[in-house]
C-alpha cells in the first residue's frame, strides 16, 4: 500500500508515547465531519484528475463508520469523526471520502495505492469541484479495502504520519521484506516523533503488510500520540 499525506500526554511519559506526526496544527474543532462521495456527479467533478469513481456500497459505508467510530473518540483519542452520510451541496463537510477502482492521484504520481489522504494548505480552495468547504479528502481502493487501510488514512486525517519512515524502521524485522522505498528515510522537515519507534503502529506499512495486518487498528503508541496531540495538547503548532 502506498499512501500520501500532506497537512498541517503530560499524563503519559515519553516512554509510553510512540509515534510520528505532522507538525502542522490540530483541527480547529475536535469533531471532523465526513461524508461519502458517490455517483456520476462525483465522477464528472473529478474527471480533470482522471479518476475512476465507483459508488459506495452500503456494506462498505457501514464498515467505515464501524471501524472509525470504534477507534476514534473524544475520550480515547481527543479527536473524532462524525457525519458518515452521503455528501450533498451545502453540507459543510470537512472531509469527503471517495471509493474507486483506480488511483485518483495527480497524473504525475505513481498509481497502485490502497488509500490516499490529502489535508490542509496543499488542498487548493475550490480545487475539489463541488466540495469548496472541504478541508481535506480521502480515497480508498475497491481492491485494497480493509480495516487497516481505512484506519491508516483516517490516522493521517488526524495528523499521524508514517511510522515506517523513522530511521529505527531499518532494524525492524517486519520491514526487511517491505517493498516500498520509504523505510527509514527520516523526513525531519515534515515529521515529528515522540517516544520510541512503534513496530505495531497502523501507520506503518510494515505492520499492515505483515500476517494479519489488514485487521489492525490504532496501536497503543498511536493512541498515546493522539492523546499527546489532542487531549494534553502538548504540541499544537
pLDDT tens digit sequence for 183-229: 877 666 567 888 889 999 999 999 998 888 999 999 999 999 999 99
Report the distance separating Cα 27 and Cα 230, nearest Å: 9
Residues 43, 69 within the same domain: yes
| Residues paired with 111 in a beta bridge | none
Residue 118 located in a structural domain: yes
Query: Is 132 contained in some domain?
Result: yes
Tell me the three cell numbers of residue 190: 515534515
Last residue of a domain, one of 104, 134, 158: 158
Average pLDDT, the chain: 76
Based on the domain organization, do 112 and 200 belong to the same domain? Answer: no
Alpha helices in 117-204 (DSSP H): 147-157
* 133 and 177, same domain (yes or no): no
Based on the fold, state whether residues 118 and 172 are members of the same structural domain.
no
Q: Kindly state whether residues 80 and 141 are assigned to the same domain.
A: yes
125 with 170, same domain: the answer is: no
Answering whether pTM is above 0.75, one says yes
- Between strands 136-141 and 115-119, the pairing is antiparallel
**pLDDT for 150:** 95
Residue 157 clears pLDDT 70, i.e. is over it:
yes
pLDDT of residue 222: 95
Answer yes or no: is 103 within a domain: yes
Domain boundary among 158, 185, 202: 158
The range of the structural domain enclosing residue 95 comes to 28-158
- Total count of domains within the chain: 2
* Same domain membership, residue 89 and residue 32: yes
Given the C-alpha cell 488511483, which residue does it identify? Answer: 103
- Structural domain includes residue 9: no
Residue 61 is given by DSSP the state H
102, pLDDT greater than 60: no
| Statement to judge: residues 168 and 154 lie in one domain | no
- Give the confidence band of 14 by pLDDT, cuts at 50, 70, 90: very low
Highest mean pLDDT, choosing among 74-78, 92-96, 139-143, 209-213: 74-78
Q: What confidence tens digit (pLDDT) does each residue in 26-79 have? A: 788 899 999 998 655 555 455 444 445 567 889 999 999 999 999 999 999 999
C-alpha cell at 135: 478541508
On whether both 87 and 114 belong to a single domain, the answer is yes
Amino acid at each position: 500500500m502506498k499512501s500520501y499525506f500532506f497537512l498541517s500526554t503530560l499524563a503519559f511519559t515519553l516512554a509510553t508515547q510512540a509515534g510520528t506526526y505532522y507538525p502542522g496544527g490540530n483541527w480547529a474543532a475536535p469533531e471532523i465531519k465526513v461524508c461519502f462521495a458517490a455517483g456520476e456527479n462525483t465522477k464528472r467533478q473529478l474527471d480533470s484528475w482522471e479518476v475512476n469513481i465507483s459508488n459506495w456500497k452500503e456494506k462498505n459505508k457501514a464498515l467505515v463508520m464501524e471501524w472509525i467510530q470504534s477507534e476514534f473518540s473524544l475520550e480515547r483519542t481527543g479527536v473524532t469523526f462524525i457525519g458518515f452520510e452521503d455528501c450533498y451541496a451545502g453540507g459543510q463537510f470537512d472531509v469527503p471520502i471517495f471509493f474507486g477502482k483506480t488511483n485518483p492521484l495527480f497524473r504525475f504520481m505513481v498509481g497502485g495505492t490502497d488509500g490516499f489522504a490529502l489535508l490542509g494548505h496543499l488542498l487548493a480552495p475550490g480545487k475539489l469541484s463541488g466540495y469548496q468547504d472541504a478541508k481535506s479528502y480521502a480515497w480508498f481502493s475497491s481492491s485494497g479495502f480493509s480495516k487497516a487501510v481505512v484506519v491508516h488514512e483516517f490516522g493521517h486525517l488526524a495528523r499521524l504520519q508514517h511510522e515506517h519512515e523513522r530511521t529505527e524502521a531499518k532494524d525492524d524485522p517486519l520491514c526487511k521484506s517491505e517493498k516500498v522505498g520509504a523505510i527509514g528515510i527520516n523526513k525531519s522537515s515534515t515529521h515529528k516523533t515522540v517516544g520510541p519507534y512503534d513496530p505495531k503502529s497502523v501507520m506503518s506499512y510494515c505492520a499492515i503488510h505483515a500476517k494479519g495486518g489488514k485487521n489492525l487498528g490504532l496501536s497503543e503508541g498511536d493512541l498515546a500520540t493522539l492523546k499527546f496531540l489532542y487531549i494534553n495538547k502538548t504540541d499544537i503548532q
